Amino acid sequence: MTTDIENKEHLPTKTTIQKVISVFKTVLLYGLMFIVIYTAVNWWRQPVMPANPQLQLMDYQGQVIDLAALSHEQPTLVYFWGTWCSVCSFTSPTINKLAAANNYPVVTIAVQSGSNQELQNYLTEKNFSFTTVNDQEGYIFDDWQGQVTPSYVILKDGEMTQGLTGIQPLWSLKLRLWLSSVF
């Protein structure tokens, strides 16, 4: 009579390569699922360009910004954020780097972030030098059907080419702007 222990001795065991391949397949499957879900959620939450968007805005210092004109020269990034937004504390330094590089126009819209003086104090405290429109009541963000901050819109020739939300690395924003300039 044989026992279960003796039978297990004759079962083939997985080699190290087979184990690595199995782990790789699992990671690949979960990664693919994450990408699909992330893309779907991002698409659902992205801002939507209004039928008659207000593309001439005034920054918190009283300077007129013409998004249509800026986006005719090259793709322009519009970044919706708030001083109260915890995620924006991670994304705004990236936007500041992108704006400082001066490769593409960057216009930020501070949603419900207080008075012009409060906004200026915040920008000074954080050493942010990007162009900022103060959307004190949130009307601009509402007009774009914004659901979450941070949100990003890329405009080319006065039209929205891309919309996205959440944490975006610098390389991703640069790639998206470059793609908008090529296509």
Q: Over its length of 183 residues, how does the chain's per-residue pLDDT go in tens digits?
A: 555 555 556 666 788 899 899 999 999 999 999 888 877 887 777 888 888 889 999 999 999 999 999 999 899 999 999 999 999 999 999 999 999 999 999 999 999 999 999 999 999 999 999 999 999 999 999 999 999 999 999 999 999 999 999 999 999 999 999 999 998
Q: Is residue 67 part of a domain?
A: yes
Q: Is residue 14 part of a domain?
A: no
Q: Is residue 29 part of a domain?
A: no
106-111 and 131-135 strand pairing:
parallel
How far is residue 160's CA from residue 46's CA, in Å, rounded to a whole number? 11
Q: Is residue 112 part of a domain?
A: yes
How far is residue 42's CA from residue 152's CA, in Å, rounded to a whole number? 11
How many domains does one find in the chain?
1
Burial class (CB in 10 A: 0-12, 13-18, 19+), 132: buried
Which CATH number do you get for residue 156?
3.40.30.10
Print the domain residue range for 141: 56-182
* pLDDT on residue 39: 76
Both tokens assigned to 96: 């500041």
Q: Is residue 27 part of a domain?
A: no
